[in-house]
Homo-oligomer: A and B are copies of this chain.
Amino acid sequence: MNLVEEFTFKAQLKPPLPVGAGPIGTRMYYDVSGGEVIGDRIRGKLLGGGEWALIGPDGFLRPDVRLQIETHDGAYLYIQYVGLLELNETVQSALANGTGTEYGDQYFFTNPRIETGDERYAWVNTTFFIGEGHLLPNSSVEYRVWRPA
Contacts and interface: CB of A to CB of B under 8 A. Distances in A.
A20 interface: yes
Interface size class of A (residues with CB under 8 A): 35 or more
Interface string A60-75: 1010001010100000
Nearest to A109: B128
Nearest to A25: B24
Interface stretch (A34-42, A113-121, A134-142): A113-121
A76 B17 contact: yes
A76 B19 contact: yes
Contacts of A22: 78, 115-117, 125
Interface in A1-53: 1, 3, 17-27, 29, 31, 47-50, 52
A58 interface: yes
A148 interface: yes
Interface in A73-121: 76-78, 82-84, 86, 107, 109, 111, 113, 115-118
B109 A77 contact: no
A48 to B, nearest CB: 6
A83 B112 CA distance: 11
Given A27-B115, A50-B50, 8 more contacts: A1-B132, A19-B115, A22-B125, A24-B24, A24-B54, A29-B68, A58-B122, A60-B125
